[in-house]
Structure 1
Amino acid sequence: MIINDMGKDPALAADYLKLTGDELPDQNHDALLYEAAKAGLVPCLGLLSEQQKSDLLLGLELGSELNAGQLAQAESVPISLEFLQSMKGREHAFEMKFMEQILDVSGALGHKYPYGAKNLIQPVFEAFQTVHEVSRRIISGELDLRQGYDEVLKKRGLLLETIGFRRLSVSDNEQRALLRLLTMGRTADVQQAELFQQAFQDLDRENKDQLIMGLNIDGNANEKAVLPYYMPAVLSDVLETTKDSTEEEKRRALTSVMRYLARVLSSSSVMSPRSLTLDQVPEDQIMPEVPGIVIEHNMLKAREVLGDPDFKRNPEKLDELDLPPPQELIRRRTSQSIDSMSLR
Structure 2
Amino acid sequence: MKKCCTLATAFLLVGVFINAQSQQFRLEGEIKDADSLTEATIMIWGNSKFANEPVKIINRKFVFEGTIEHPCLAIINTDKVRGGLGVWLTSDTIKALFYVNKYRLLHALSVEGSEESKDYLTWINSLNEWRQKEPDKIKRYMYIWKGIDDYVTAHPESFLSEFMIRLEIGEDGSVLARSIYDKLSPKIKATETGQGLLKKIENAETNALGKKISAFSLPDINGKLVSIDSTAKTWTILHFWDSWCAPCRVENRDLIGHQKLLKEKGVKLIGISLDETRDTWLKSIEKDKITWLELNKLKPWNENEIIKQFKIYSIPYSILIDENMVIQSIGMNNIIAKIQDL
Q: TM-score, normalised by structure 1?
A: 0.30
Give the structure with the higher percent strand.
2
Give the structure with the higher percent helix.
1
Which structure is higher in RCO with an 8 Å CA cutoff and minimum separation 6? Answer: 2
Q: TM-score, normalised by structure 2?
A: 0.30
